[in-house]
């Protein structure tokens, strides 16, 4: 049992570090838009450990990333969005085969409800601009993000992670 908890903690830490790097350093940032790949480690966390662990890890990663590598003022609304994103990925992907349909559903919910609605609301508060004023640019992101996230989640899980994860489990059961 201890080995499992240690392995989980190590994996969560590595994926959190990956999320911080992908979000803070390998994203395209504008004042109202961020295009990046930070969702990938969180979706993997959701697949492996479920909604609560993915949500908590993403929220903690948001807090750590904002404090270690600030790009503006810390705003707790975005931490709530991060938690909810992990919850959605975990709720839809955990305990199920990662299919194109599930990948699309998780991406669509995150992008439409959290990124487009909730994060636009947080930005309207921070920037003092109307919600509707910010929507056109953010809608363009949605048109790009849903298919991109759907494809990347499925491909990364299938090509890179499944083989490693399954071989680790097979070794653990044979030892």
pLDDT in tens, 90-105: 999 999 999 999 999 9
pLDDT tier for residue 1 given thresholds of 50, 70 and 90: very low
**169 three-state secondary structure:** helix
pLDDT for residue 154 is more than 60: yes
Residue environment code for 27-53, b if the CB has 16+ CB neighbours within 10 A, otherwise e? eeeeebbbebbbbbbbbbbbbbbbbeb
Q: How many distinct helices (H) and strands (E) make up the chain?
A: 8, 2
pLDDT tier for residue 146 given thresholds of 50, 70 and 90: very high
Cα 64 to chain centroid distance, Å, stands at 15
pLDDT for residue 70 is more than 90: no
Q: What is the tens place of the pLDDT at every residue in 76-86?
A: 999 999 999 99
Look at residue 147 in the predicted model and tell me its pLDDT: 93
Cα–Cα nearest to 59, from 38, 30, 34: 38
Look at residue 161 in the predicted model and tell me its pLDDT: 66
**96 three-state secondary structure:** coil
Look at residue 3 in the predicted model and tell me its pLDDT: 53
Look at residue 101 in the predicted model and tell me its pLDDT: 97
**167: part of which helix (H) or strand (E)?**
helix 162-174
The domain made up of 2-27+36-162 has a fold known as Arp2/3 complex 21 kDa subunit ARPC3 (1.10.1760)
Whole-number Å distance between alpha carbons of 12 and 34: 23
The mean per-residue pLDDT over the stretch 119-124 comes to 93
């Amino acid at each position: 049992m201890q080995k499992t908890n240690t392995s989980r903690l190590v994996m969560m830490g590595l994926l959190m570090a990956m999320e911080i790097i992908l979000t803070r350093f390998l994203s395209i940032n504008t004042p109202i838009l961020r295009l990046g790949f930070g969702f990938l480690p969180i979706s993997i966390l959701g697949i492996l450990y479920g909604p609560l662990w993915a949500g908590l890890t993403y929220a903690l990663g948001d807090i750590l990333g904002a404090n270690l590598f600030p790009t503006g003022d810390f705003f707790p609304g975005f931490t709530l969005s991060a938690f909810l994103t992990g919850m959605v990925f975990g709720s839809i992907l955990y305990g199920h085969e990662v299919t194109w349909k599930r990948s699309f559903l998780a991406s669509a919910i995150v992008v439409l409800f959290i990124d487009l609605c909730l994060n636009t609301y947080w930005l309207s508060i921070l920037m003092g601009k109307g919600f509707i004023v910010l929507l056109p640019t953010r809608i363009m992101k949605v048109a790009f993000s849903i298919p991109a996230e759907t494809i990347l989640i499925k491909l990364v899980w299938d090509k890179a992670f499944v083989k490693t994860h399954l071989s680790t489990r097979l070794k653990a059961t044979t030892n």
